[in-house]
Chain A
Amino acid sequence: MSHTRTLEELRHADAAEFGGKSSTLGELIAGGIPVPPGFAVSTSAFRAFVDEAGLGGMIATELGRMAPDDVDSVGAASHAIAQAMRSAPVPDAVRDEIAERYAALGGDDPPVAVRSSALGEDSQDATFAGQQETYLWVRGADHVCDAVRDCWVSLYSPPALTYRARLGENGEPAMGVAVQQMVDAEVSGVLFTCNPVSGDPSMVAVNASWGLGLAVVGGEVTPDDFLVSKITREVVREHLHDKDVEYVPDAAGRGAVRVAVPEERRGVACLDAAALEALVEVAGTVERYFGSHQDVEWAFARGGGLHVLQSRPVTAVAKPGSSAPVSAMAAVMSAFGVKKD
């Protein structure tokens, strides 16, 4: 197998080949953090796809005549490339590997999440570049292959094209894809291993809402908001909100649908003390493993079980305190109004 690896085999060093998300998931597994099992599709699969389908020339032509500052022109190029890609087959070699890896997950067409795994560690850039596609509750090898291709297509979304044009990147883009067993999330959300607003490193900030993580990540609900002490596990601040929608698996068995949360559950805290404690625990493990503050996506499966779905470094943290260092006595003097000379 040359185009895929299991997630647990990957490390940061594999990021150039498999993208940041997949390699990070591999690191998380290595750190003993509960990550749903799955496999990663290499950038080589994407290249094989483009080569075998002979899309290179067509893409180059479209990009060559695109006017990066003209929204309509970018849209037209994006549309043309997407159409061409969607009508091209995934190479058999890639398809067979994906099918085999998928079957190895066990079960009868297990639902999986298919996520793009962008190259380059800078997650903020990736966000701008539109390389954050996620397809939830995908079932069956063919559909998985389709979803993988959809991830590749997202490389040519209008924002991605504009972004790369602005950076003057003319080279061939590439992307990895992560395929992971789906967590049937009762509650999900994100956590920061510090308070990103105040910069307090002793706190874990948690945003949580009902159902799959889409609602929180996509900003479709105002999530419950908790600030929990890493040291004592006390909830220092808590703001509950009306969580009126959630994403749940479609009854038909494929995809996730957005539904209204029943009135009586909306205002109720979606995490209890034990769940928050589990999150603080996992936050500590992730932070220690990576040695920096992390922004972690997580989910509690129906019937319990915490899973980490993604982690990336927190880039924009407020830096608290620390003006010029002063001695303890100078600080006391200053509290009594002795001004520094």
Chain B
Amino acid sequence: MAAPSAVGSFPSPYEIETPPGCEGWEEMYPYYARFDEERRAEDEQRFWFWNSMHFPVPMPAFDAICVDSPYQAIGNWQNRVFAVPPAMGIDWRCINGYIYISGNPVLDPAKIGERAGYFQARAGYYYANWDELYGRWRAKMEALIVELGQLEVPALDEYEPDAVAFEDQETSYAAVIQAYRTALRLLDVMWQHHFEFLLLGYGAYMTFAELCKANLPDIPDQHIAQMVAGLDVLLFRPDAELRRLARLAIDTGVDGAFVEGRSPAEIEAELGESDAGRAWLAELEDVKEPWFHMATGDGLYHTYGSWLDDPRIPYASLIGHIGALKAGQDIERPSDHIAETREKLATEYAALLGDDARKGFEELLALSRTVFPYVEEHKFLCDYWFLTEWWNKIREFGDLFVAHGFFENRDDIFQLTRLEVYEALDELALTWATGGPARGPKYWPPIVARRKEILERLGEWTPPPAVGAVPEEMLDPALIMLWGVTTQRVHAWAREQEGGSELSGTAASPGVVEGVARVVRTVGDIGDVRDGEILVCSITSPAWAPIFSKITAAVTDIGGVMSHAAIVCREYALPAVVGTGRATSAIKTGQRIRVDGTAGTVAILE
């Protein structure tokens, strides 16, 4: 990897070696995800970047469905529905379990012109009817979540239920296979919904940001974000509910149960002993639906559960809030202040502009504010609520396999590709029906064990931020809007390939802080974060709420000024630099670093 490559300052994807002991990792992923020799000539000339925003750790075989399904959906909306003039969809490849993506540009001017006609008509329709379409979107997304909840995975018992014999009910083996098909279809539908508005939403926001920067060249990115960001943000509701519960615990005198170091079960056991405690628990139950569908992380992996799956996270937050309240601190989100700042910035910036620019500013700000609820809310409904439930639905198939001896643990299902699961279900259906011996119980466990081992080893390997050719210019609106991968950013990555003790990224939240770094690669490492440390991660999620009251600054590999790390850091008034490309590989836990959230730089001091 160190040798300079013929295709530029990024390594060639074909020169990257497999880490020792990880041979055969390719079998976990589809054939079309490989950098295969047969298409070397093209693939080596393309620019591929590691999508560490969504895929910070190696993909388990099953989870790769959350690469295919979203890229089918985004490609479809961008390329086939809206026909964004200069860009089709996004291709992906896998290197050592990590996901690299690359856009497909449209280069033919005649084609670009033809697409512009479609785009203007179709995107124009969405913008013109946004509120109505978005209202419908909310309804269909909520209906989809209900449908997922109602999907049953039938048991395969000794005998079919009476209903099969007497009431013409579908046979169980066929129903199992059908349920699996339905589960996959629901995931595709979710991703389809997910991307319906995304690009248009970000596009309106970006246009507003560009107008601001053209007329107010020094405007900080965070001011643009603050003018647009919603006041009643769905994503902040879960933590707001926890703060309310924390106050309730103190007001009703049950706060003594919330002792640092206690497990949720221990706390609940003590609460269960008093009337006031039971009343609090009843209130908690009310809050859970839907607010505990908050995910514990932002990645598209089965390992990211919800607060329902892992109550340690909300309980840690509760303990923190109760402690802060008792120490006399104000834990409220300063929503009045946020609203005031939002209007002050908008009014005062507008007043500084000439008439033409002010008109554009006001129109685009209004449009950005119209589209922004979607940008903020789709995350909770799609990525958190639906997806965490969906993984649990797949776990029910895992249970079925465990019951029939195919796997040891329900989560072992995630070590099979989605097509292998089909195959295994077919065998299960067959052998359950026939009563003959199944091969699965002997065939799958060693494969599962080996893949787990490979994933663990791949997790220790650090992928380069990009491979392939260094593009002269990034023109793909989606890559720029959604990933913040601008020409400038890519060129900085290319320059920084040699290393160096300073990283640059996007100034996402102002301020300068020096301190000890804590590199957090997966959600499981959250517990290691100590008070006063600086969080260094691929990308954070607002679901990591408890961390943000501990850390003094945040640095991420990827993301722009509207990434969730950026939003939350501004909320907590913590300096943040996002989109550094390589923070998690360049910085080691324990190193002293200086984060300059105003300039967008991170210096490694020792």
Contacts and interface: CB of A to CB of B under 8 A. Distances in A.
Nearest to B352: A201
A203 B341 CA distance: 17
A231 interface: yes
A200 B219 CA distance: 8
B207 A332 contact: yes
B107 to A, nearest CB: 12
Interface stretch (B208-216, B393-401, B547-555): B208-216
A321 interface: yes
A202 B219 contact: yes
B218 A237 contact: yes
A322 B510 CA distance: 28
Interface string B79-112: 0001011110000000000000000000000001
Contacts, number: 121
Contacts of A339: 85, 112-113, 116
CB-CB nearest 10 A-B residue pairs: A328-B363, A321-B214, A321-B215, A337-B86, A198-B217, A325-B356, A337-B85, A200-B218, A335-B207, A338-B116
A328 B367 contact: yes
A337 B217 contact: no
A333 B119 contact: yes
A335 B477 contact: yes
B211 A321 contact: yes
A322 B123 contact: no
B127 interface: yes
B167 to A, nearest CB: 54
A329 interface: yes
Given A325-B356, A329-B127, A332-B207, A320 B364 contact: no
B363 A338 contact: no
A332 B349 contact: no
Contact of A236 (B86, B207, B218): B218
Given A232-B223, A335-B210, A336-B477, A329 B216 contact: no
B218 A325 contact: no
Contacts of A238: 598
Contacts of A72: none
Determine chain A's interface SS by DSSP, over half rule.
Answer: loop
Interface residues of A, number: 34
B124 interface: yes
A325 B364 CA distance: 13
A238 B82 CA distance: 43
B357 A203 contact: no
Interface in A283-341: 320-322, 325-329, 331-339
A320 B84 CA distance: 29
B357 A322 contact: yes
A337 B207 CA distance: 12
A229 B477 contact: no
Contacts of A231: 223, 344-345, 348-349
Interface of B: 82, 84-87, 112-113, 116, 119-120, 123-124, 127, 203-204, 206-207, 210-211, 214-220, 223, 341, 344-345, 348-349, 352-354, 356-357, 359-360, 363-364, 366-367, 475, 477, 510, 598-599
A235 interface: yes
A237 B598 contact: yes
B218 A227 contact: yes
Given A202-B219, A321-B357, A337 B348 contact: no
Given A202-B219, A237-B599, 6 more contacts: A200-B219, A201-B353, A325-B360, A331-B210, A334-B207, A337-B86
Interface of A: 195, 198-203, 227, 229-232, 234-238, 320-322, 325-329, 331-339
Contacts of B127: 329, 332
A338 B119 contact: yes
Given A200-B217, A232-B223, A320-B217, A332 B360 contact: no
A244 to B, nearest CB: 24
Contact of B217 (A195, A229, A325, A326): A195
Given A321-B211, A325-B359, A336 B217 contact: no
Given A328-B367, A331-B207, A336 B85 contact: yes
Nearest to A340: B116
20 contacts: A199-B217, A200-B217, A201-B353, A202-B352, A232-B223, A235-B598, A238-B598, A320-B217, A321-B211, A321-B216, A327-B360, A328-B207, A328-B364, A328-B367, A329-B127, A333-B124, A335-B206, A336-B123, A336-B477, A339-B112
Tell which of A227, A229, A331, A332 has the most Cβ of chain B within 10 Å: A332
B477 A337 contact: yes
B217 to A, nearest CB: 4
Nearest to A332: B207
A224 to B, nearest CB: 15
Given A232-B223, A336-B84, A198 B120 contact: no
A327 B124 CA distance: 13
A100 B475 CA distance: 72
Given A200-B218, A321-B215, A336 B367 contact: no
Nearest to B116: A338
Contacts of B87: 337
B216 A202 contact: yes
Contacts of B113: 339
Contacts of A326: 360
A234 B359 CA distance: 26
Contact of A331 (B123, B364, B477, B510): B364
Contacts of B598: 234-238
Given A236-B218, A320-B216, A337 B203 contact: no
B264 to A, nearest CB: 41
Contacts of B84: 336-337
Contact of B215 (A320, A334, A337): A320
Contacts of A227: 218
A238 B601 CA distance: 13
B215 A234 contact: no
A338 B120 contact: yes
Nearest to A234: B510
Nearest to A333: B120
A230 B220 CA distance: 12
A329 B217 contact: no
A332 B217 contact: no
B220 A322 contact: no
Contacts of B360: 325-328, 331
A210 B220 CA distance: 29
A236 B510 CA distance: 8
Contacts of A336: 82, 84-86, 119, 123, 203, 477
A268 to B, nearest CB: 15
B206 to A, nearest CB: 6
Nearest to B206: A335
B247 to A, nearest CB: 31
A328 B344 CA distance: 22
Contacts of A229: 220, 223
B203 A335 contact: yes
B17 to A, nearest CB: 38
Nearest to A231: B348
A231 B212 CA distance: 14
Contacts of B120: 333, 338
Nearest to B78: A336
A229 B207 CA distance: 22
A331 B124 CA distance: 12
B137 to A, nearest CB: 19
A227 B86 CA distance: 37
B217 A236 contact: no
Tell which of B86, B124, B216, B356 has the most Cβ of chain A within 10 Å: B216
A336 B207 CA distance: 9
Contacts of A322: 214-215, 354, 356-357
A336 B82 CA distance: 10
Nearest to B353: A201
Contacts of B510: 234
A338 to B, nearest CB: 4
